[in-house]
Amino acid sequence: MKTGKTLPEFIAALGLNGIELMVYKTEPYSQSYNKETVGVHLNYWPHWLDFWRDNEKIVEKQFECAEDCCSYFGGACCGTEWLKVIKANIKAALIAEPEYLVWHVAEADQREIFTFDFKYTDEDVIVRTAEVFNAVAEVIPQDITGLFENLWWPGLRLTDAAVVKKFFSLIERDNIGIMLDTGHLLNTNSALRTEEEGVNYLYEQIKKLGDAAAWIKGIHLNCSLSGKYQQSHKKLVPKIINEGIVMQHVTNIDQHLPFTTPRIWEVVNLVKPKYLIHELSYRDFVDFEEKIKMQLKALQTGQGRGENNA
């Protein structure tokens, strides 16, 4: 369903500054979004660490054949070729002239996302992510900010300040920071049930980061209270795993709903991000517009009340 607005009109009607464009390919879009684009979300491979480490026996178990593996990594059949794919993806993203690029820091294979029995630790993932990023960072101009996003899988979960500090100590580049995804951070606590509990948790976790919280330069703002699903899920691997089953499971955990409580302003005011992105799930653009309005109302109401825990 269409809104009857062009993209610039859609953005202007909501009082926003632009979009975060998803560029998951190695070729730029045929249509230019340069005027609307503020940032770009780069391609993301949920499970990649075994491929990067040349753990052939483990990789073989994750794919039905070598061709499927090669296809998953954008045509790359080894780590060196994969770096070329990543560089091509970054170059395609740069065509949109963004101010920042978003890079996920996580690892979980198709079995682990169901079992939560992870073979790699947060430290394993951040060390290898730094290796990969440092190997491709030369293609990113220094005036473009590299923002690393948290997930609830091993990697940059943002639940441990020491992990955050170690990760950034390994990055061989300036002009970097964190893109805090509030829903992803909420997904690390399956005891949460209400938005009020969620806001309290977000606030507490950010405060616990101490001076490491200064790395947060952007927020993907969304609410995910999937604890009931996480606790009811038997953590069994489905007999058949395909893209549809994986996506259904992941979206049951990662809900990307709008915040409706004005108290979410407390979290935004604590961080004071340079970039605030309404990253929400939606059926169509009419639905998207309504959900953005809901979240904007919550923020504006909270700001108007001067709600602040500090």
- Residue 303 DSSP one-character state: H
Asked, for residue 309, whether it belongs to a domain, the answer is: no
Asked, for residue 2, whether it belongs to a domain, the answer is: no
Asked, for residue 14, whether it belongs to a domain, the answer is: yes
The whole-model pTM stands at 0.96
pLDDT of residue 64: 87
pLDDT of residue 147: 98
Amino acid symbol at 216 = I
Per-residue tens of pLDDT for the chain, all 310 residues? 677 899 999 999 999 999 999 999 999 999 999 999 999 999 999 999 999 999 999 999 889 899 999 999 999 999 999 999 999 999 999 999 999 999 999 999 999 999 999 999 999 999 999 999 999 999 999 999 999 999 999 999 999 999 999 999 999 999 999 999 999 999 999 999 999 999 999 999 999 999 999 999 999 999 999 999 999 988 899 999 999 999 999 999 999 999 999 999 999 999 999 999 999 999 999 999 999 999 999 999 999 987 664 3
Asked, for residue 308, whether it belongs to a domain, the answer is: no
- Domain containing 269 equals 7-302
| Domain tally, the chain | 1
pLDDT of residue 3: 79
Asked, for residue 215, whether it belongs to a domain, the answer is: yes
pLDDT of residue 310: 39
pLDDT of residue 234: 85
Starting at the edge strand found earlier in the chain, the sheet holding 216-221 runs 19-22, 37-41, 100-104, 145-149, 176-181, 216-221, 275-278
Backbone angles phi, psi at 24, to 5 degrees: -105, 20
Q: Is 259 exposed, middle or buried (0-12, 13-18, 19+ CB in 10 A)?
A: buried
pLDDT of residue 4: 86
CA distances from 150 to 82, 121, 125, 146, 224 (A): 22, 14, 12, 13, 14
Mode of pairing for the β-strands spanning 37-41 and 19-22: parallel
pLDDT of residue 305: 84
Q: What's the CATH number where 63 sits? A: 3.20.20.150
